[in-house]
Structure 1
Amino acid sequence: MPASGIEPAASAAPFSPYVSLRSLVRGEALTVPPAASVRETLLLLDQRRADAVVVVDEGSRVPLGIITLHDVLRRIALERCELQAPVASVMTGGLITVPADGSAHQASVVMVRRGVHHLVLTESDGSYFNMVSQADLHSLPGTRQGDLVRAILGARDLPTVVALAGEIRAFVVRLVSERVVAETLCQQISSLNDLLTMQVIELLAGHFELPYVPWCWLVFGSEGRLEQTLATDQDNGLIFAAESEDDAPALREAFLPFARAVNEALDACGFPLCKGNIMASNPQWCLSASEWQGAFLGWLTEPQPDALLNASIFFDLRALYGQDSLANDLRDWLFERAASYPIFMRAMVENSLNWESPLTWWKGFRYDGDKEFPHTIDLKKHGSRPFVDSARIYALALRIPDTNTGERLRVTGERSGIPGEELAALIDAFQHIQRLRLGRQAAAPLMAATNRVNPDELHELDRLILKESLKQVQILQRRLSREYLPT
């Protein structure tokens, strides 16, 4: 390391919205100690062809501030900053940080909301890990998306947000008609809906006297997996810090009116209230950190049908707004214990294998006899869900922090040695079914029909690929059975 304490720069890996930021960056980050001079910092930025450097405390490794090339040159020119002055005197403090184990998607949303070009990544103890820039997190193409993002961030009342929710749907319907790939579609939907929900939370939070304790808005199900489609209801909750069990009831009562207002506003935006009442406004899902642990522990120890149903929703938890560490700590706690309950894991596997293929033995289509929509297949129940369930099991067993199904399968393949071609076929099959679902939702006038398709109405190629995709479910389930159901 040079005498100034300056460390070499990092190089970024290819961007994927679902991967953790920790895996997105490579090598040592570019840092300077607070005593380094402005001249030394400028020389480093020039040598490394970098545009920013983080000022880090040499002892604790806590990030203190950030220096961008633009800012330091402006201060030299306009404020006549001395080149020998310590860099701490010109750095920008009040850093915006995100956990190193957060997702690229999360970082992109934070950058857009805060209007910044760099984010500092930290470890769980607050020490510095690395830095990520907008150049690392490539924005998805489309000027219309940029217009929507700016409009959402500029919204100052709920009626405006409600109107923008309709514009998001129209934007996505257009992308569906252009046959944009399903993974990109779901990521765009999730990014825009995340921003919309965060804006709703911010608009409403100021109207309530919320407790002065750390809290976080959680999302579950398809939203937690970044797999929202055009037909999705709410699955959310709230986690808060409480010093003791005795404090939790009063804190909950203080959060519930706010949570109810958010749920009702989201309903007005086109995200229907959850029929199963899995929402933050339900006292059952507005819990302290220890109460959430108790709920998860109850499902692990008593793998009854209700527990397996809850697992299929709540185990896909993701932090959306607030103190991310509360959600991350809860996920870590779950990973440490899940593998210790083999009966639960076996029950999850058996439940996922309880799937009736919509293919006949001669590879024609079998229909489920729905009276309202005969001669159709439910692409969610019989198509995408078995992929989602299998990926969730692997994530728990292998401690994979990603919530997205495609990313869970990718990491599973890397750790389990699934051949590349087989892994690609599994993911492509899942994405093809998702694209068919989105296409149907864009065209279906009735909510009940949004996941149903008549194979005879599909293009010949889509019908053929659907058959092959459903065969991949059987391949995935055979692998799952071999690995987790001893003979």
Structure 2
Amino acid sequence: MKNTISQRVADFLKNFPPFSFLKQMDLEIISEQITIIYKEKDSVVFALNEETHECFYVVHKGAVALRADQHSDIMDMCDEGDIFGLRPLIANENYKMEARAYEETILYAIPINVFRPYALEKKAVGNFLIESFASNTLNPFSKSHRGKLYGEEIEADTKLLDLQEVKYSKKIISCSSSTTAKEAAEIMLNKNVGAILVVENSLPIGIITDKDLRNKIVTGAFPITTLASEIMTAPVITYPTKMTITQAQMAMMKSDISHLCITVDGTINSKAVGMLSKHDVMVSIGNNPAVLLRAIKRAKKFKKIKLIRAGILHLLQGYLDQNIPMTLTSKIISELNDACTKQVIGIVLKKMDSQPPVKFSWLALGSQGRSEQLLQTDQDNALIYEDVAEELEEATKKYFLELATRINKGLFDIGYEYCPAEMMASNPDWCLSLSECKNKVHHWITNTGKNEVLLSFIFFDYSLAYGDSDLVNNLSDFIFEDVKANPTFYIHLVSGALQSQSPTGFFREFLLEQDGAHKDFFNIKNRALMPLADAARVLILSHSVKSISNTAERFEKLAELEPANSELYLACAYSYKALLKFRTKQGLLHNDSGQYISLDTLSKAEKIKLKSTFKTIKELQEIIRIRFNASNIL
């Protein structure tokens, strides 16, 4: 008869690394040796400089704070499924930090002597433990690795070519050592390849390239009946499957070759699984952001930009697959998307019958204005232009409406759908002189109805995509001064921010859509991302901070401005980036906006990780409610 307690422990552990790398039978054996420990809030699990225990720990319920000592700031916060206390497993020395229960907590204590054999035998288990021990980065509170999301192991300042994995051909064209040069050349011609691998017992022993045929056969040095074994280049230069662009380039330059053989373990003693040519490397470099940026700036037609945008999405997928930090990913993809917008505007301007009569600015609104539009969604933009004399107003507006209409059409042609609500510069309501724009914003601030608050939410997240920066700075100065002069606006802004629906119910279950086309789906945008974005906007406006529209960057700035709340704000920044990454992955996976998620497609571990990002929302909204005394109007 099975031990039901150990069975439940095993069922819990299998959802989290490194236990997820083990077989169910191994987990059950380990779970029989595990001790379950209850810790009250603020009780110590282990102290600084304490001798190491004979176990390490997994959080089952609650949370454990790791600090340098009792009075220092939290260095790391471990919650459900996180491991800590690995020092006795990795290093034979006393604990270098304190672990204290942050709330009522249940721990699983895993004996070192029971688990060590699995760590040594299973490479994935050992690597995970070593990386966890080295980094202590498991969640938003980790100071030394803030900005990383779960599973990320790559620093943001690493060179991009070192991060990008090169794509090799898995279609291997091969022959035997007894194949003649003529036969090898015919195979290469028929398969349209520049190299053929010579194999023996499925192992690579040599390679014949176009260069070998030119130098040895075409010159007459060898007859065409010569065997492959006599003209092949040997030994073959081999590498493992995981190879970056830089590694491939360096390998080819070092050996002055144009082809690499990819094998199972990277040596000539294992089966060949692919071939990598200089052409493959150049194709991979083609998805490098610097190359894409140059291609965008050279593009003369919308059709070309649309093709390049497909490359941008491929680059985005690669970054997510390689766990590139979301901060870096967002900056690069946003910069490339902005470059596409600028190029579209540049092309349209050249096609206009005349140059703009006055200076203008093209504003990106909403998610694009926050540099968070990673997927291809609809357009949100506006155009503002310099004030002109009354007699020139009609002609000036007519020009810019025509310009905006062509730009919106160009953006549509490269993949941006039209905004269903027509919040686009081609709409006269969003193509305004500077004075008209100020009047519109002033109306929102002084007439704070539901519609005005909604419009201000979208418009206040703007950034300059093209044109004159002085116009934008002038507008920003006006907005902040007008907001200061109308403090009641904050109450309505806060009220709007607090209307966002909770992502989870009383028992922490996901709250799903109740009706409509997405019934029973989870709306990650409205229930998780928007509450954080709305709160960040309200708080940053209250500090009159200009030029920061990105939500995560707003929280990071707020952490500087309000040290007492810095821990919460940094956790919010982490959560937002994690949610944005999650939505982007879902969007790429299902070829949509990623807004609506079917929970059936998520693993239990993914659901737990997703829920962990919700923890900050309630606390953040409570701070806003108290600070702006908004409870009496909700």
> Per-residue CA shift, 1:341-381, capped at 9, x if unaligned?
22221011011111221212121222122443343211101
Which residue identity lines up with residue 276 of structure 1 in the other structure? A
Shift of 1:246: 4.6
Alignment-mate amino acid for residue 590 of structure 2: A
Residue by residue over 1:305-354, the C-alpha shift from the partner in whole angstroms, topping out at 9 and shown as x without a partner, is 11111111111121111111101110111011112222221011011111
The separation in 2 between residues aligned to 1:286 and 1:477, in whole angstroms, is 34
Tell me, yes or no, if structure 1 residue 403 matches structure 2 residue 552.
no
> Does residue 474 of structure 2 align to residue 329 of structure 1?
yes
Query: Which amino acid is the alignment partner of residue 308 of structure 2?
Result: L
**Larger RCO: 1 or 2 (CA < 8 Å, sep 6+):** 1
1:441 matched to which residue of 2? 587
Q: Report whether the alignment pairs 1:179 with 2:323.
A: yes
1:353 maps to which residue? 498
CA distance in 1, matches of 2:462, 2:629: 26
Residue pairs, 1:224-263, within 5 angstroms: 224-263=369-408
Distance 1:244 1:295 in 2: 19
2:361 is equivalent to residue 221 of structure 1: no
- For 1:150-195, what per-residue CA distance to the aligned partner results, in whole angstroms no more than 9, with x for missing partners? 1111112222112212222222123233333333332222111111
How has the CA–CA distance of structure 1 residues 405 and 418 changed in structure 2, closer, same or farther, with 3 Å as cutoff?
farther
Distance 1:268 1:349, change over 3 A: same
Residues 339 and 245 from structure 1, CA distance in 2 versus in 1: closer, same or farther, beyond 3 angstroms?
Answer: farther
1:295-306 matches, within 5 Å, as 295-306=440-451
Compute the RMSD of aligned alpha carbons. 2.0
Structure 2 residue aligned with 1:166? 310
Structure 1 residue 372 corresponds to structure 2 residue 513: no
Q: Distance in 2 between matches of 1:285 and 1:330?
A: 14
Q: CA deviation at 1:477?
A: 0.4
Q: Supply the distance in 2 between the matched residues of 1:308 and 1:206 (Cα, whole angstroms).
A: 38
User: What is the percent sequence identity of the aligned residues?
Assistant: 28
Q: Structure 1 residues 250, 138: CA separation in 2 closer, same or farther (over 3 Å shift)?
A: farther
Query: 1:455 aligns to what?
Result: 599
What do the CA deviations read for 1:241-293 (whole angstroms, capped 9, x no partner)?
12335533321101111211110111111111111111111111111111110
Provide the residue aligned with 1:113 in structure 2. none
- Whole-Å separation in 2 of the counterparts to 1:265 and 1:170: 22
Amino acid of the residue matched to residue 572 of structure 2?
L
Task: Give the alignment of 1:276-295 within 5 angstroms.
Answer: 276-295=421-440
For structure 2, list consecutive stretches of 5 or more residues without a partner in the other structure.
1-156, 165-284
User: Which of 261, 265, 273 is equivalent to 2:410?
Assistant: 265
Partner of 1:429: 575
- Is the contact made by 2:491 and 2:630 (CA closer than 8 Å) also made in structure 1? no
Report the TM-score when normalising by structure 1. 0.68
Question: 3-state DSSP class of the match of 2:362?
Answer: strand
Amino acid at match of 2:392: D
Contact conserved, 2:376 with 2:415, CA < 8 A, in 1? no
SS of residue in 2 equivalent to 1:365: coil
* Cα distance, 1:340–1:280 mapped onto 2, change above 3 Å: same
Distance in 2 (CA, whole Å) between partners of 1:277 and 1:414 is 37
CA distance in 1, matches of 2:577, 2:603: 17
Deviation of 1:455 after TM superposition, in Å, equals 3.4
The residue type paired with residue 460 of structure 1 is K
The amino acid of 1:414's aligned partner reads E
Pair 305,362 (structure 1): closer, same or farther in 2 beyond 3 Å: same
Which whole-Å CA distance do the structure 2 matches of 1:470 and 1:446 have between them? 23
Out of 337, 347, 357, the position equivalent to 1:203 is: 347
The counterpart of 1:474, out of the listed 614, 618, 628, is 618
Query: Is contact 2:293-2:339 (8 Å) kept?
Result: yes
Task: Tell me the equivalent position of 2:20.
Answer: none
In structure 1, C-alpha distance between the alignment counterparts of 2:592 and 2:575, rounded to whole Å = 26
Please report the TM-score for the alignment, with normalisation by the length of structure 2. 0.53
User: 1:413 touches 1:423 (CA, 8 Å); kept in 2?
Assistant: yes
Give ranges in structure 1 of 5+ residues lacking alignment. Answer: 1-136
